[in-house]
Chains A and B, each alone.
Chain A
Amino acid sequence: MSEPVIKCESVYKIFGENAKKMLEEANDKVDAKTFQENGCIVGVNNASFEVSKGEMLVVMGLSGSGKSTLLRCISRLTDATGGKIFIEGQNLLELNNKELINLRRNKMGMVFQSFALLPHKTVVENIAFPLQIKGIKTKDSISKAMEMVKLVGLDGRENYFPRELSGGQQQRVGIARSLAVEPDIWFLDEPFSALDPLIRKEMQDEFLRLQEKLQKTIMFITHDFDEALKLADRIAIMKDGIIEQLDTPANIVLNPATEYVRKFTEEVPREKVLLIEDVMEATTTENLSDLKVSKDEIIENVAEKILTQEKTVAVVDNNNQVIGSINPSKIINTVFGGRKNNN
């Protein structure tokens, strides 16, 4: 397996005056309460994970859970108090200022919750800004920026000022700006949280379309569990600076690691998240129905068909080989079973 693009080894971020000293004394056992008594606030507590090339890791947590802080440590907008962060094998925390600027100019792009556009520049100038900062000629940067304008579907509005755009349009500019330098790593900090629900859904679909085309390595921050399930390859759920669970959406829904995670999964409509593969039996019996379903189908899409069968249904892979089976009762259990404990 190739080297991970982002790799974190027990990253800590602690705010406060003697943070560094306290962390050394704590001996890797950071307790938020004792730190708080000494005037320090724990932002990120022992985060270790890897993100491989082309993968989308969604970090989910409520406000104050440290998810944005974690992202800022990895983009080095703040310096981590302890631990190691590697970007494509380079130790991020050991880069000097010049190397860091170089890394940001060529490898990283970031989208912000409040768009963070420059009010005195037009759409196309905003998008061209990172290119011009790099020292690319105005003409070249503008033509490159125009490509980005088309990519995010803002043609015809390139000479508008941010104040003349709606929220959704402004975020499109933010996205285009972050992509202008063709970064390998794409950070998105709650990019859709400030938008209305309908626009948000539209932007999510647009975002998935873009990602299919671009295949960036992504860290996506959100407080919306549904959004995380919809977009993520893997989800990291954070609480009080600690990553409670890091897994695929299906595994998180099926096997929540902690009580905290389980509370999130309770309300989730499983049939919309889980694939047939996630709930099938790996064994096959003789007595199969004629229906065959693909292992990559979402349950919701095939549930009706399966439920009309009396016998167990065969599950096939991409090559139409039978790799397992699923009983209609299993579908019923999956869809309704999880909510039994609610009352």
Chain B
Amino acid sequence: MELIKKYPKLFQWLFLLIVFFALCFAIDVPETYKFIRGQAEFIKDPNQSTYVLFGKEVRYYAFDVFWRLPPLLGWLPIWINDSLFFLMNEWMPMEFWNEDTQEFKTRPLVLQITRNLTAFMTFLIELIREILLGGVETTVAFTSWDWIDANPWAELPGLPWTIVAAGAAILGYKLSGKGLALFAALVMIYISIFGQWKPSMQTLSFILVAAPLSFIFGLSLGIMAFKSKRIEKALYPILLVMQTMPQYAVLVPAIVLFGVGDHAAVIITMVVAVPPMILLTLLGLRGIPPEVMEAGRMSGCNNWQLMFKVLIPTARRDILIGVNQVIMVCFSMAVISAFIGAKGLGFNLLLALNQLNIGLALEAGLCISLIAILLDKMSLAWANKQIDYFGNLNFFQRHKNTFFFTGAVILGIILAYIGSFYFDEGYNYLFEIPHNKGISAADFWNKGVDWIWDTFFQTLKIFNTWLITEVLQPMRALYLRMPAIATLVLVVGAGYIIGGIRSALVVGGLTLFIALSPWWDRALVTTYMATFGVIISCIIGFTVGTMCFQNKYTTKFMLGVCDIFQTFPSFVYLIPVMMLFGVTDTSVLIAVVVYATIPATRYTIEGLRSVPTALHDAASMSGVTKLQRLMKIEFPLAFPHMMLGLNQTIVFALFMVIIGAFIGTEDLGQYILKALSDKKGAGIGLTLGICVAFIGLIFDNLIRTWVDQRKKHLGID
């Protein structure tokens, strides 16, 4: 009894585990149970049961309720679909003036709105794309096709690549200095020489439209949330779900609402990119010392002046970090949006991966990574740049960057003009290097891949087979063996022990949603893959992080490496693993491990670094050895922060597992991928996305609650 009193939590956990395993053993696997490989809801099978709710017929395989709950939420995707269809095609028909046919036409309101929105987005994207690459669409938008045929001179010429490259270098110089300028120039020259100019500029134009719009919306919503508690409370759950929702899943409803193509992708990108902007705006505005706000008020600011002259400039850094986030999310969406037909690097990558042309994929992937690093470094440099006083400079010094850029434009045009005489075989290399005329390393890479396959095939295959048969299959079987009721008990119990009734209800509710959806089995597979990835990632991350922390330089180096790897869109990680392991579960899991190790390592190092120096000194003065200091002081204090790393690791792993569907998995992600190509997929895609988000939120809730308590207990912030 005394033991129980001394370690109450430990005994609670023990009790929970005993109940869990008892349930697992008590409930047998039904004889009819098997993992359904096809999409159950589309198979018509006499063994299925059906029920009708809200006028929707749901078909499912019935089991003992303790083993698998019936999919009571099965009507939800169908209902979402029908509602969307109703909204788009039947709700509020109105007369609209049609410019082309010069007559009024009856159309549903939502359809008209979304069509206008897409037309506007298309116009913006085309405008920027044609400034960068040239074209006629923008001119046509103001005139007509007939007019452009009669006046071919009105076609926008596009900027020669030399000018864009020089512009990037000058921007880099202005933001950070020579180093960034050089890097920007090199990246641009690389892209051009390797013939990736056109897709890169398409991707860039996508970001140039999506990022500013997301910024404006995010900032406005952030300000509104800051001013009104009610708006903040209304936004909070949406923000939370959006943070853990795989980017992939939001694409599905976009198709229904906005169709396929860049415009749809831009709109849906905003949905994904606005939440982090809102959060960082809120964080920045919250972080302003109250006295600064009071100083503004006492200077006689009205509300508008207070917001735009005092608060926002003071929160400048956090808001610009938000811009950095927005740009990075937009970029990774620009890549993933290839699934719904957005042009650019992502599209090329997707195409190359589909053809299993690893060489081409690597080239596109390298470009994507380089641009990602460049965008990240530039926006971070902007955030960290401090305003300088320039009143004492003369006119030339103050505007030197403008002068440089003007010079570059003139020089670029002259070069392109000379080039048009010099290269007379049809391609002006000083204007744009076409895709097939650039240097290509694809053959080299392909040969490299072939060599790897020839040399290591046996070793890799043995490893692959061992991993799948000895580790993955049994683990998966174990997860699927869990009766639904046992899982529920485990999750709710964990919630109760960690955070009391409230936590238990929240995580219980989230789990119940998944259990009542038609995809419980798939969710288990997703969780098993994510768990495997997280365990390996944490082991690697914690070890590497701890080891690197022993030395100042390795610490800095490792954080730099994490920074760089974190900027890559998750999709890029699939290229090297496919190269090495082909199309198997192993590939996905290795991508998951690589991707999820980043936050695990980073948070370990940051956690260890956050231990105050005073404590280090105090420990040293008590004569501890290095190991003692690590075990007795640094780990216990850094542990809460490391747990936040675990949280991130889980989210990263989940994202990667879902993206891994592209290679071929049997989890929720696979269904999302299928929903993308399904006309009636919107409801399914959205519900699946919510399921994935909920898996993330269950862990998020548990970990965060624990960390908050622990931090309060340790008295650290």
Contact = CB atoms under 8 A, between A and B. Distances in A.
Interface of A: 72, 75, 77, 97, 101-102, 104-106, 108-110, 112-122, 129-130, 133-134, 159-161, 163, 174, 177-178, 181, 187, 189
Interface residues of B, number: 22
B129 to A, nearest CB: 35
Contacts of A108: 298
Contacts of B300: 101-102, 104-106, 130, 133-134, 181
B715 interface: no
Given A104-B300, A133-B300, A116 B295 contact: yes
B298 A159 contact: no
A130 B299 contact: yes
Given A116-B289, A120-B313, A133-B300, A161 B295 contact: no
B291 to A, nearest CB: 4
A134 B300 CA distance: 7
Contacts of A102: 300
Contacts of B305: 133
Given A112-B291, A119-B314, A161 B298 contact: no
Nearest to A75: B298
A120 B387 contact: yes
Nearest to A77: B294
Contacts of A97: 302
Interface of B: 289, 291-292, 294-295, 297-302, 305, 309-310, 313-314, 316, 386-387, 389, 391-392
A160 B386 CA distance: 13
Given A104-B300, A177-B299, A181-B300, 4 more contacts: A109-B298, A110-B298, A129-B299, A178-B298
A204 to B, nearest CB: 21
Given A101-B300, A133-B300, A161-B386, A118 B310 contact: yes
Contact of A104 (B297, B309, B310, B313): B297
A116 B302 contact: no
Contact of B389 (A104, A119, A161): A161
B254 to A, nearest CB: 38
B314 A118 contact: yes
Contacts of B310: 118
Contacts of B301: 101, 133
Contacts of A115: 291
A101 B302 contact: yes
Contacts of A105: 299-300
Contacts of B316: 119-120
B291 A113 contact: yes
Nearest to B309: A133
Nearest to B295: A116
A68 B389 CA distance: 35
A230 to B, nearest CB: 24
B389 A122 contact: yes
Contacts of B298: 75, 77, 104, 108-110, 178, 187
Contacts of A72: 294
Q: Give the most central of B289, B295, B302: most A CB within 10 Å.
A: B295
A180 to B, nearest CB: 9
A290 B164 CA distance: 94
A104 B299 contact: yes
Contacts of A104: 297-300
23 contacts: A72-B294, A75-B298, A97-B302, A104-B297, A105-B300, A108-B298, A109-B298, A116-B291, A116-B295, A117-B295, A119-B314, A120-B313, A120-B314, A120-B387, A121-B313, A122-B389, A129-B309, A130-B300, A160-B389, A163-B386, A178-B298, A187-B298, A189-B291
Q: Give the most central of A109, A116, A130, A187: most B CB within 10 Å.
A: A116
B408 to A, nearest CB: 30
A122 B295 CA distance: 16
Contacts of B294: 72, 77, 110, 112, 116
Nearest to B390: A159
What are the 8 tightest A-B residue pairs by CB atom distance, in nearest-first order?
A: A105-B300, A116-B295, A130-B299, A116-B291, A110-B298, A104-B300, A112-B291, A120-B313
A115 B295 CA distance: 9
Given A104-B298, A133-B299, A133-B309, A116 B292 contact: yes
Contacts of A120: 313-314, 316, 387
